[in-house]
Amino acid sequence: MSFNAISVIGLGYIGLPTAAMFASKGKKVIGVDVNQHAVDTINSGKIHIVEPELDVMVKIAVSGGFLKATTFPEPADVFLIAVPTPFLPLQGENSTPEPDLTYIEAAAKSVALVLKKNDLVILESTSPVGATEQMSAWLAESRPDLTFPQVHGEDSDIRIAHCPERVLPGHVVRELVENDRVIGGMTDKCSQAAIDVYRTFVKGDCVVTNARTAEMAKLTENASRDVNIAFANELSIICDELDINVWELINLSNRHPRVNILQPGPGVGGHCIAVDPWFIVSKSPSAARLIRSAREINDDKIGWVVEKIKLLLANYLLDNPYKSAGEVSITCYGLSFKPNIDDLRESPALQVAIRVNDFHSGQLVVIEPNISTLPAALSGAHLADLSQGFGSGDIHVLLVNHREFSGLDFSSIKNVSTFAVVDIDNIKL
């Protein structure tokens, strides 16, 4: 299909780079977001999120007149929905987190107002299986004057596809272009139209499947990573019991040509890998046993790390009987959800620091080179520079392996414990 105007609904970590990418290829892009501050920021040629290279792209796109942002949808030929799919509030302590499709529903209903014959609607948001069909049903409900693929197949007025995003935060601009794309049209024509759209900038392969398989493919990618990290986290607990260095163990095992174990850490964070596997579990609760266990193992790792820190403190007090807990300082290295970013959302390291701050009566020092103020939940803790904080204090806990910590010689200080994803060639323990 040829198209002139594309509307991107949701101008967050995925929607905004995607909008800027289409604009950089000379397409007219209408970005839609309910957040007035985001809309104003983008229209002034600036960005409200942190992502390398994106600021320059948005500036050029806006000043060239290719990208504009608004809070209400306008007519276009293609609508690309990239809104969040969080969890619904948990129904009880052991209940399975269920996906919340409210944002997709709201986006579909607002797009419906301006939809016209021959338009294409693409759902990019990570979604449980069946969400694309559900979105199409919401559109059909709002626009009885148009026909949709679930009833009229290839002859429908509107085309619908699910094409999940798969880019890594921090590398979004490059990965948008280079990664292969899964194209899940509700019919072959829908898939073909979506391929034509992505070919505007995608250099990777555009691989066609149906919408349900495309939804499951995205969830599978993140669940696969979660399961692999859970294996590493479980190994780290076994190794702790057996007095074996897990980092060395994994390095050795990975020398086998068909073994590739990931790294243990304080848990799994971010908005994707810690969330998406639950979308599989909630659809197939009794079959998805490994996927559920992996989620639980990775979530439980946070509590395990906190218990280890309590043990370090207890041992420190046994070795230093003249000191009380209130006189012991604990230094945490790293707060973000993974190395070399400033993103604290869903961060296991932050959860560990908060719990330490809650139970510990002495000083908590945090060294996090990527932020300038501590979150409110860490009130009373002290944010220190690496140069001031390194080595000072009594107990040292490495939680995130930022590049700034590379080469530090922790072997020269006592009472160090690492729970970070560590490259042991870079850090001396």
Strands (E), 284-412: 330-333, 364-367, 382-383, 395-398
Quote the least distance from Cβ 352 to ligand SAJ, whole Å.
12
Strands 206-210 and 382-383: unpaired
The single residue among 247, 337, 410, 419 that binds ligand SAJ, judged by CB under 6 A, is 337
Q: Does 272 help bind ligand SAJ (rule: CB under 6 A)?
A: yes
Q: Does 222 help bind ligand SAJ (rule: CB under 6 A)?
A: yes
Quote the least distance from Cβ 153 to ligand SAJ, whole Å.
31
Scan residues 155-194 and list those touching ligand SAJ (CB under 6 A): 165-169
DSSP string, 70-134: ESS----SEEEE-----BPPPSSTTPPP-B--HHHHHHHHHHHTT--TT-EEEE-S---TTHHHH
Q: Which of 399, 398, 388, 395 is nearest to 330 (CA)?
A: 395
162 forms beta bridges with 123, 184
Distance CA 352, CA 11 (A): 31
Distance CA 90, CA 106 (A): 22
- Catalytic member of 27, 272, 301, 338: 272
| Residue found under tokens 């390095």 | 251
Q: Does 90 help bind ligand SAJ (rule: CB under 6 A)?
A: no
Residue nearest to ligand SAJ (CB): 272
What sign does the dihedral 174-176-177-180 (CA atoms) show? positive
Nearer residue to ligand SAJ within complex by CB, 273 or 305: 273
Number of residues lying near ligand SAJ (CB under 6 A): 21
The single residue among 69, 216, 268, 422 that binds ligand SAJ, judged by CB under 6 A, is 268
The single residue among 20, 61, 176, 262 that binds ligand SAJ, judged by CB under 6 A, is 262
Distance CA 309, CA 50 (A): 32
Could you confirm whether 272 is annotated as catalytic? yes
How remote is the C-alpha of 402 from its chain's centroid?
18
Scan residues 94-123 and list those touching ligand SAJ (CB under 6 A): none
The single residue among 338, 360, 396, 402 that binds ligand SAJ, judged by CB under 6 A, is 338
Q: Terminal CA-to-CA distance of the chain, rounded, Å?
A: 58
Inter-residue contact 77 to 193 (CB < 8 Å): no
Site track 405-424 with ligand SAJ (rule: CB under 6 A), x = hit: ----------------x---
The single residue among 15, 97, 269, 393 that binds ligand SAJ, judged by CB under 6 A, is 269
Site track 43-72 with ligand SAJ (rule: CB under 6 A), x = hit: ------------------------------
- Catalytic member of 218, 283, 301, 338: 218
Nearer residue to ligand SAJ within complex by CB, 59 or 171: 171
Distance CA 190, CA 48 (A): 33
The single residue among 229, 354, 356, 395 that binds ligand SAJ, judged by CB under 6 A, is 229
Q: Which stretch binds ligand SAJ (CB under 6 A): 129-137, 237-245, 270-278, 321-329?
A: 270-278
How remote is the C-alpha of 92 from its chain's centroid?
25
- Measured N-to-C along each axis, helices 276-283 and 289-319 cross at an angle, to the nearest 10 degrees, of 130
Quote the least distance from Cβ 18 to ligand SAJ, whole Å.
12
What sign does the dihedral 258-230-270-355 (CA atoms) show? negative
Write out the residues near ligand SAJ by the rule CB under 6 A: 126, 165-169, 221-222, 225, 229, 262-263, 265, 268-270, 272-273, 337-338, 421
| Residues taking part in catalysis | 218, 272
